[in-house]
Amino acid sequence: MVPSDLLFHKEHEWVRIDGNRATVGISHYAQNALGDIVYVALPKIGTLVSFAREMAEMESTKAVSPLYAPIGGTVVSVNEALKDHPELINSDPYGKGWVVVVETKTPAEVDQLMTAGDYENFIKTLDH
């Protein structure tokens, strides 16, 4: 089940908007496809990220995968718990497994993201 209060990027990142800040993580679908996440390379606070560009990296038992910025801006917070417990992304992708918070100056970029319903339809097309 995809939380209805989130927006989604086609690369499977989710966004929870709160004013000009966006909390970002990866979807349940993505963490399931990756398998057990064993390491997360987090960006530094203050890093400028651009829409749809790589901003972090996750290593799983299957592969190393980029995390794309679903909204551009400045990284203002990172989930430090992931350094010692990257598996939080697997166990709670929409909660304790969040990755970064980005402060944006271009909130209109969220118009390029999918609603939860659109994302559910999108991932159905991938399973065929």
List pLDDT tens digits, range 6-26: 999 999 999 999 999 999 999
Report yes or no on 128 lying in a domain: no
Residue 33, domain member (yes or no): yes
DSSP for residue 44: P
In a domain, 2, yes or no: no
Please check whether residue 97 lies inside any domain of the structure. Answer: yes
- What's the number of domains the chain is made of? 1
Q: From CA 22, how far away is CA 66, in angstroms rounded?
A: 18
H/E stretch holding 124? helix 116-126
Is 47 contained in some domain?
yes
pLDDT over 90 (residue 1): no
Predicted TM-score of the model (pTM): 0.95
pLDDT confidence bin for 128, thresholds 50/70/90 = low
pLDDT band at 70 (very low <50, low <70, confident <90, very high): very high
Q: CATH number of the domain at 83, please.
A: 2.40.50.100
When pLDDT is averaged across residues 51-79 and rounded to a whole number, the result is: 96
103 part of a folded domain: yes
Q: Is residue 1 part of a domain?
A: no
Q: Is residue 35 part of a domain?
A: yes
pLDDT tens figures, 73-123: 999 999 999 999 999 999 999 999 999 999 999 889 999 999 999 999 999
Q: Which domain holds residue 116?
A: 7-123
